Amino acid sequence: MRHGDKINNLGRKTAHRHALLMNLACALIENKRIFTTLAKAKALRTYVEPIITKSKDDSTHSRRMVFAYLKNKEAVSSLFKDVAGKVADRKGGYTRIIKTGNRPGDAAEMAMIELVDFNEIYSNKKGTETAAAAKKTTRRSRAKTGAKKTTEKTSGEDTKSAE
């Protein structure tokens, strides 16, 4: 019976599971978004959210505590420099998990886990609409210039044949 067992073991021993979560957390902090299985994403969320909360207080003690979890100097410096400033006013819920369907090879449920304050896709909807409008205008202008070139060629051919 599994009464009171709240940790998803992910089919791994303790040391392997901690190494996996440490590597996933470093990848999430450095890249701001990663694709993984749904079970790993849920386990990563419980692992990385307390680390981000500790990073709000930029002291030597908190840096050492975070380094004990991550063991990666680049990830720790990125966490304290980039991430902590953006999430300073947020009280929790620093990550978002979006299901992306099943993996073709083994039909495992896949998910995208990302840091909430670092998503350009969802926050800049107006920016993408203006970019799409700019693309439409350039296509139309190209079509107009192309039409002029073809008429010039035909008029030039008529003069050559008349000679």
The 8-class DSSP code of residue 4 comes to: T
pLDDT beyond 80 at 152: no
pLDDT band of 147, cuts 50, 70, 90: low
Its pTM stands at 0.73
Instruction: Report residue 17 as tokens.
Output: 């599971």
User: Minimum mean pLDDT among 13-22, 74-83, 118-127: which range?
Assistant: 118-127
What average pLDDT does range 91-99 have in this prediction?
Answer: 96
Q: How far apart are CA 39 and CA 61, in angstroms?
A: 31
The 8-class DSSP code of residue 71 comes to: -
pLDDT at site 68:
98
Determine contact, residues 137/116, Cβ cutoff 8 Å. no
What average pLDDT does range 78-103 have in this prediction?
Answer: 95
pLDDT at site 38:
98
Q: How far apart are CA 17 and CA 160, in angstroms?
A: 79
The 8-class DSSP code of residue 105 comes to: T
**pLDDT tens per residue across span 102-142:** 999 999 999 999 999 988 766 555 555 555 555 555 555 55
SS3 156: helix
pLDDT beyond 60 at 153: no
pLDDT band of 1, cuts 50, 70, 90: confident
**pLDDT tens per residue across span 32-68:** 999 999 999 999 999 999 999 999 999 999 999 999 9
pLDDT at site 151:
53
Phi, psi of 2 (to 5 degrees): -110, 40
